[in-house]
Amino acid sequence: MVRVEANRRDFLRWLATAGAGLAAAGIAPALFAQEAAAAGTDVVVVLGATVVDGTDAPARPNSAVVLVGDRIAWVGPAAELPHHAGARIVDGRGRYLIPGLWDMHTHGIDYEKLWPPLFLANGVTGIREMQGYDENRATRDKIVRGELLGPRVVLASSILDGPVSLLGPPITQVATPEEGRAAVRTAVEQGSDFVKVYFYLPKDVFLAIADECRRVGLPFAGHWPYRLRQVEAARAGQRTFEHLFGLSIATSRRRDEFLARLDATPFDPDAKRDFFNLARDLDRQAAQTYDPATAERHFAQLKALDNWVSPTFTVNRVMSSPTETYAHDPRLKYVSQDIVDYWADRLPMFTPATAEQIDQQNAYFEAQLRLVGAAHRAGLGVLGGTDCLNPYVFPGFSLHDELGYLVQAGLSPRQALQTVTRDAARFLGRSATAGTITPGKVADVVLLDANPLTDIRAVRRIDTVVTAGRVLDRARLTRMLADAETAAKQPLASANSRSVGLPVRGCC
């Protein structure tokens, strides 16, 4: 033990002299090494892998990546690494190392025995949880304190919607500008990372929320607010439009006609879903009347306002498919029967039933793929997210599906991967600390058995996940999946100590 400890100190001393990358990240290498030595911090070396670092740089074969605690400390050719006794070695030979993945649209992290292990086992080391409530705030805090193994969580406020809403508790309904401002202040008090806005907000309430978010320094994102044009909402500060709602209308040659019809239709408190169904139908029609010139102007305006699109193709594909399509998905073994029953009950509200409807929905989905491809080519930021907890959208697994759809939309495998690594970090304001395999950044990496730059399906072939410096090897990941499968066989209340039941109603 004494010799191992001495070797570790020797290795850290070398790091103090070789840590140019740390210095570039604003971290003093010598001080970093001294503090790590004093704390007895674990040292992990991923040796011999081809590094796909999340940037536009070429892949680097036969590399070494040194992780010290929760930081990437050094990246370089394996041949330049000195004797590293005392470090834990992860064999990367013949494998590919990528940054940890982010699912940028999730729900359900408070299903603690199911969701957190499923995310990590699929290489998802960070999530943007799109609805905040007491239970998932508690789960996030347990992860931060190290009491629960799970992904990093960026957590929304309670969903803010108008006095008429498709959703029920635990959302927050606001009817006046004063109530909207108060809801933003509550979000700050609750430690929310951003405010989530929804469809049916009145225009004056939306603008009050936007102004209060500016005042308190909290970003906001969410669904297209029907009573505003997308550019108007983006100009007020909305950072994303989720699920592609409204993008087809905004890029249609019949845009003004469709928007006028929506403007003339009230939100009916006695038939809350009617407006939503009308908007979806108009969006499907608009998808077949795409106008390149209109789209080019729209994309340029959104890009100038640093607005991003979060397609969530995975949930859109489910909603565009007949109800029975996913009824025998093998991944259902990881989901509680309570949730599966809920999915079976809710899904027929959204999915096509007749042959004509199925054809329409397939055409709509293909048009959405083309639309996102055009938006990406125009330089509009794209974020990879799934909307898990909606029917047949599985934590972790479905992000792999999402990456495949992004490639179908026209992104290269590298570009698709960047939507859930480098670009996700940039959107979240974490470029200095996350998103790429760079010295000084967090020690979240995934080791794959195949090259994701030649086939994006390689992200499914996971050998090892490192999250916050903790190594989860293949054996550990297999146990995590087995434990989740066992937990899924139990009643939901016993499978999860922190749950509000099923708070999600449709896409949110």
Transcribe 168-218 into DSSP letters. -TTSEE--SHHHHHHHHHHHHHTT-SEEEE-TT--HHHHHHHHHHHHHHT-
Q: What's the per-residue H, E or C state across 86-121?
A: CCEEEECCCCEEEECEEEEEECCCCCCCCHHHHHHH
Is it the case that residue 496 has pLDDT exceeding 70?
A: no
The model's pLDDT over 180-226, given as tens digits with 9 standing for 90+, comes to: 999 999 999 999 999 999 999 999 999 999 999 999 999 999 999 99
- Nearest C-alpha neighbor of 453 from the set 415, 508, 479, 481: 415
- Tokens 């989530």 belong to 196
Amino acid 86: pLDDT = 76
**What residues contact residue 89 under an 8 Å CB cut-off, 6+ apart?**
44, 45, 47
Contact in structure between 364 and 84 (CB atoms under 8 Å): no
User: What CATH architecture is 101-495?
Assistant: Alpha-Beta Barrel (3.20)
The model's pLDDT over 4-46, given as tens digits with 9 standing for 90+, comes to: 455 777 888 888 888 778 887 788 877 877 777 776 778 899 9
> For a pLDDT cut of 90, what percent of the chain falls above it?
85
**Which band of pLDDT confidence, cut at 50, 70 and 90, is reported for residue 505?**
very low
Q: What is the mean pLDDT of residues 420-430?
A: 98
Contact in structure between 155 and 192 (CB atoms under 8 Å): yes
What b/e sequence results for 8-29 when a residue is b if at least 16 CB atoms lie within 10 Å of its CB, and e otherwise? bbbbbebbbebbebbeebeeeb
Contact in structure between 413 and 374 (CB atoms under 8 Å): no
The model's pLDDT over 252-280, given as tens digits with 9 standing for 90+, comes to: 999 999 999 999 999 999 999 999 999 99
> Rounded distance, CA 278 to CA 487, Å?
40
pTM: predicted TM-score of the whole model, two decimal places: 0.95
- Phi, then psi, of 239 in degrees rounded to 5: -85, -35
Q: What's the per-residue H, E or C state across 136-172?
A: HHHHHHHHHHCCCCCCEEEEEEEEEECCCCCCCCCCE
Assigned token pair, 463 = 């050998």
Contact in structure between 221 and 197 (CB atoms under 8 Å): yes
DSSP state of 45: E
Q: Please spell the DSSP secondary structure of 428-491, one letter per residue.
A: TT-TTTSSS--TTSB--EEEESS-TTT-GGGGG-EEEEEETTEEE-HHHHHHHHHHHHHHHTS-
**Which band of pLDDT confidence, cut at 50, 70 and 90, is reported for residue 503?**
very low
**Which band of pLDDT confidence, cut at 50, 70 and 90, is reported for residue 494?**
low
> Rounded distance, CA 139 to CA 137, Å?
5
> Rounded distance, CA 243 to CA 309, Å?
8
The model's pLDDT over 467-488, given as tens digits with 9 standing for 90+, comes to: 998 999 999 999 999 999 999 9
Cβ neighbours, 10 Å, residue 330? 7
- Nearest C-alpha neighbor of 398 from the set 98, 121, 64: 121
Assigned token pair, 233 = 């909402």
How far is it between the farthest Cα atoms of the chain? 78
Contact in structure between 50 and 77 (CB atoms under 8 Å): no
Amino acid 374: pLDDT = 98
Amino acid 5: pLDDT = 54
Which CATH fold would you assign to the domain 2-99? Urease, subunit C; domain 1 (2.30.40)
Contact in structure between 54 and 422 (CB atoms under 8 Å): yes
Average pLDDT, the chain: 93
Amino acid 191: pLDDT = 98
Q: What is the mean pLDDT of residues 74-89?
A: 87
Angle at CA of residue 402, ends 466 and 417, nearest 5°: 50
Domain ranges of the chain: 2-99, 101-495
